[in-house]
Structure 1
Amino acid sequence: MNAPPQPPSPPAHQAAVLGRPAHWWQRRGVKAAALITLLALSGLVILALVRKETGHEGFLVGLGLAILPVPLLIAAFRWLDRVEPAPWRNLLFSFAWGACAAALIAIIANSFATRWIATRTADPTSADTLGATVVAPVVEETVKAAAILLVFLFRRRDFRGLVDGVVIAGVTATGFAFTENILYLGNAYGTDEATGVDGIGFDSVTAATFFVRIVMSPFAHPLFTVLTGLGFGFAALAADGRRARRILLPLTGLLLAMGMHAAWNGSASFGGFGFFAVYAGFMVPAFGLLTWLTIHSRQRELRTVREELPAYVTAGWLTAPEPYALGTLRARRMARQYAKQTYGKQAAPQPGYAPGAHPDAARTVREYISLATALAFLRARGRSGRAGADFVVREQELLHALWSRRGPARPALDHAARVTAPPFPQPYTPWANPYGPVLPPLPYGYMAPMPMPQPMPHAHPHPIPYIPHQPHPSAVPHPYAPPAG
């Protein structure tokens, strides 16, 4: 008997659609290894260049002093990103790009441009001034913006708005400033050593450089690049059809970053009074304004969570207190603490855990919060017309991931909501929700949960029955889905 014919292999251009990369160099692991190798080589080269420039002792002194503001700046950006924290891999990439690749390109390009200007003008002083006020802002802000662009293009799911742009830009600039501070502080220490001045004295060049760069303006580079990040953040909020806006907004932010950087570098040529005038009259107010804008954007994100999630309460995916608890930072913190104190780190899995799930209840609650926040943002993008073609698939993934973690998360969030807010209506109805408006449902989406393996451990009615892979009776064709067949 002849063997049945085997189906033909898909062509190369269809392999990625079916989930398999067409070529070995398109695999995710290969791309990650190439990126890590590139950043590591850049780090080794920039390390050698800085050490050659500053000397061994100057490098160690500069390294020890330059690292001081880094944990504070990273913690500040993580605090701003508390609603839905960016994955650590994005932050590590951004910091490494700024500290290694961006710093290396900037040092080489700035040195080459300054030497070229000096040979054309035969005036080293004017070449240094032009290099600091014109060349350096353009080169440095461009190479730092490259990290934001890469995250925006290849980690689009993690780049949703203003806060994400601010965080990625700030962490990238923190890495860049770290390497630059090593160079400046190391050279200052070398100058003190050459002139016989105690490098740790208050009258030394090292102390003055430390005061200006580390004490007064550790936020300078992050402040410049945050303008570029805001441009990308506004572009992320723009609808997909507005291509011109999605291109012009990042370019506008980049130009503003270059302008502010040039003004800051040029203030040194105005003397001490001009420097402090620019610092007090321009830099500090701009820093305060951007901080307020970022915090305001974070509050809008929390409001989005409170407004979008009640639709999933009516379908049975969430309980009534959850939208409020998930949209309040205090309630989130209390929910994690409650899960840790009640269930413990080695507690037995509660009803709702997926098979093989980690029994760490606090970690499960943290994952549940992150998934629910991503679900609210996804629904908000769909409402504004910014959802991609994978809206329904992504919504299913998030809902099923929430469902598998509901065991310890629901009691913890219910406790946190009842401690931080008035009593919630039981059972939940859209007209009885006092914690925010209930937006009308989307004309598409995956609203009703799959059949529960067991009754829900609360007093809410049983969810709407649903059979996976069949359309819900109230659903209409998803306008973003690819055509059938």
Structure 2
Amino acid sequence: MTQPPASHQGGPPSPESPWERPASGPSSGPPSAGPASGAPFPGEHTGGQPYPGAPASGQPYPGAPASGQPYPGAPASGQPYPGAPASGQPYPGAPASGQPYPGAPASGQPYPGAPASGQPGSATGVVPQMAGPAFDTAAQAWAAAPPPPKSMQWKRLLQLISLCAFVGLCGLALLIIVGVNIGAAALAVGIVSAVIPVPLLVYAFLWLDRYEPEPVKYLAFCFAWGACVATFVAYLVNTGVAILLDRNDLSEHFVTVVGAPFIEEIMKFAGPLLLFWRRRRAFSGTIDSIVYCGLSATGFAFAENILYLGGLGYAQNAEEGGALGGAQGVVVLFFARILMSGFAHPLFTSMSAIGLGLAVRSPSKTVRILAPIAGLLAAMILHGAWNGMSVLVQTTEEPLIFLYGYFAVMIPIFLGMVGYSLWLRAAEGRLAERILPEYVRAGWLSPPEVATLVTIGRRLSARQWAKRVAGPEGAKAMNAYQFDLTRLAFLRDRMHRGLGTRPNEINATVAEERRLLESIMAYRRVFTGRDPAAPQAMWDGYQYHVAFPDGVVRAVASPEQPVVPVPVRLAPMAPPPIPGYGGYPTYR
């Protein structure tokens, strides 16, 4: 096993070797020089131990820039790294298309290290024994894969308990207030009617976030914030403002057009903004912001619909027409508030989400401050315009005003937002295709593995293949593998954008990248090398080395469009260090 150069000893661990253990069979011959199955290679990092040259916990990496300063040698935002080739050009030192990689055997010649003709080691005397799976079964490989890190600190636990208690008390207080005002029966009718559209809206946001699903606890927090805290505070403020206006003989329409949009949009946005402040790494881009803000708005709409459907729909009509009259009122209001305008609150708050998403991905401090404010103002204006149409209908008794505004203004904005969200969703797949080739050239991945991440359909096909060759463990490993690769792409994109330049953020980014790479390699072992229909092959960062039926390993250049349907083994090479960090030179 060739040891990595000394200059790379402080960098990430090397990809797994393709010569880990000989392929099984009666003519396999003696094992090649390598560790026992599951044992580490010489110089390989042992799980749980610090990397050679890594600083003590909490200390910055040698050469890391001061807080707020750019990385040494890092290009300006949007510019390529020094020494990087122009778009579409090969990296310096890479062989020309169709030419072998330096050190690789000529076409038709045996691979270095293969036994001489007639010597034990292969049936033909030429084919080297490429790596079989690192573990005998997929279940063993899955059991050896590292679980996500878990830690619990008492301070964080107390903060979590306090936050949950605050949200729960707000929800309970709101429930009591609404129940007292409209009655228990109307409250029950309102809850049952208002919950009907919630699963559909929640599913729409979860479907939008399929490339990199967010933690359920964060999604639940945003929904609970909108349903309990935002609605409770907005109810108190709107009621208080209405009382003040009534005492001063002012129009109550001020609350509808100005007051309600102002406080409601602030409160719906406050939950995701709080999450961004405390858990910034939970936001990868605009899609995450739309999902978090959309769930907060969905929770708010759910609680508000209880009041409208139960109070205005059932309680008021039941006083005159009994239960039947109340049911008719609920049906009419359900059509107006749920079927025709159930998207309203998520649409308004999506303006704030776009502003927050721009702030997440921008290295400019000015953008990070002004973009969320601009988004919040746009949400208030859109909300006020929506409520203003209802006020105009009431004052002018012209229902066509609402229809004109609904079909000419709100529906186009809604459809535009849907199209923008779908474009952002597709862009997440394209981000992996654009960023992860850096790891392909470094030998961590093969080209087809990146190609399988571009669309949801390809990801599902890869999971089906992994389940076929490695059973249920293979499907679970492939799912986790794809999730971590997507997170790795977003992490690398943050580096390219110049985000997280404080010493503690640099340390956290480096540690997270190493953890992701280790997990990716562990998940890879569950399904790699287990497809009997696939040829034995490996990828060295520039080309394939494939064992042909005639018993010779030949170098094969990577085609422009990846055609190998399954992951192949990785060459025993040390990848170039991480670019752009102190102590880590750029790719050469």
Tell me the TM-score normalized by structure 1.
Answer: 0.78
In the TM superposition, what are the counterparts of 1:201-216 in structure 2 within 5 Å?
204-216=328-340
Change (3 A) 1:252 1:480: farther
Match 2:515 to one of 397, 406, 409: 397
The answer (yes or no) to whether the contact 1:77–1:167 under 8 Å persists in 2 is yes
Change (3 A) 1:276 1:197: farther
Cα displacement string for residues 339-371 of structure 1 (whole angstroms, at most 9, x for unaligned residues) = 3454443xxxxxxxxxxxxxx432322211111
Unaligned runs of 5+ in 1: 1-15, 19-23, 346-359, 417-423, 437-456, 467-471
In the TM superposition, what are the counterparts of 1:270-281 in structure 2 within 5 Å?
270-271=392-393, 272-281=399-408
User: Aligned residue for 1:258?
Assistant: 380
1:46 aligns with 2:174: yes
What is the deviation of 1:221? 0.3
What is the deviation of 1:50? 1.6
The answer (yes or no) to whether the contact 2:529–2:569 under 8 Å persists in 1 is no
In the TM superposition, what are the counterparts of 1:238-387 in structure 2 within 5 Å?
238-239=362-363, 242-271=364-393, 272-345=399-472, 360-387=473-500
User: Aligned residue for 2:199?
Assistant: 71
Question: Which range moves more in the overlay, 35-44 or 256-265?
Answer: 35-44
Amino acid at match of 2:209: D
Amino acid at match of 2:374: T
User: Aligned residue for 1:119?
Assistant: 247
* SS of equivalent residue, structure 2 residue 572: coil
* SS of equivalent residue, structure 1 residue 426: strand
CA–CA distance in structure 2, aligned partners of residues 229 and 365 of structure 1: 31
CA–CA distance in structure 2, aligned partners of residues 328 and 229 of structure 1: 24
Match 2:319 to one of 194, 207, 210: 194
CA–CA distance in structure 1, aligned partners of residues 318 and 425 of structure 2: 48
Change (3 A) 1:82 1:25: closer
* SS of equivalent residue, structure 1 residue 404: helix
What is the deviation of 1:252? 0.4
Cα displacement string for residues 373-413 of structure 1 (whole angstroms, at most 9, x for unaligned residues) = 01011111211212442322221111111112112355799
* SS of equivalent residue, structure 2 residue 281: helix
The answer (yes or no) to whether the contact 2:198–2:302 under 8 Å persists in 1 is yes
The answer (yes or no) to whether the contact 1:228–1:253 under 8 Å persists in 2 is yes
User: Aligned residue for 2:560?
Assistant: 434
Amino acid at match of 1:385: G
CA–CA distance in structure 2, aligned partners of residues 433 and 294 of structure 1: 33
The answer (yes or no) to whether the contact 1:321–1:414 under 8 Å persists in 2 is no
1:235 aligns with 2:344: no
User: Aligned residue for 1:224?
Assistant: 348
Cα displacement string for residues 449-479 of structure 1 (whole angstroms, at most 9, x for unaligned residues) = xxxxxxxx9754523247xxxxx6x567714
What is the deviation of 1:197? 5.1
1:29 aligns with 2:157: yes
Number of residue pairs matched by the alignment: 408
Tell me the TM-score normalized by structure 2.
Answer: 0.65
Change (3 A) 1:459 1:394: closer
The answer (yes or no) to whether the contact 2:298–2:346 under 8 Å persists in 1 is yes
The answer (yes or no) to whether the contact 1:320–1:425 under 8 Å persists in 2 is no
Q: How much identity, in percent, do the aligned residues show?
A: 36
CA–CA distance in structure 2, aligned partners of residues 205 and 46 of structure 1: 23
User: Aligned residue for 2:74?
Assistant: none
Change (3 A) 1:199 1:232: farther
Change (3 A) 1:210 1:413: farther
> RCO (CA 8 Å, sep 6+): is it higher in 1 or 2?
2
The answer (yes or no) to whether the contact 2:225–2:271 under 8 Å persists in 1 is yes
CA–CA distance in structure 1, aligned partners of residues 190 and 574 of structure 2: 64
Cα displacement string for residues 237-263 of structure 1 (whole angstroms, at most 9, x for unaligned residues) = 111xx2111110000000000001011
User: Aligned residue for 1:478?
Assistant: 581
Question: Which range moves more in the overlay, 133-142 or 193-202?
Answer: 193-202
Question: Which range moves more in the overlay, 406-415 or 135-144?
Answer: 406-415
The answer (yes or no) to whether the contact 1:427–1:460 under 8 Å persists in 2 is no
Q: How big is the alpha-carbon RMSD for the aligned residues of Structure 1 and Structure 2?
A: 3.0
The answer (yes or no) to whether the contact 1:193–1:199 under 8 Å persists in 2 is yes
1:464 aligns with 2:573: yes
More helix by share: 1
Change (3 A) 1:459 1:431: closer
* SS of equivalent residue, structure 1 residue 93: helix
The answer (yes or no) to whether the contact 1:94–1:147 under 8 Å persists in 2 is yes
The answer (yes or no) to whether the contact 1:224–1:261 under 8 Å persists in 2 is yes
In the TM superposition, what are the counterparts of 1:92-111 in structure 2 within 5 Å?
92-111=220-239
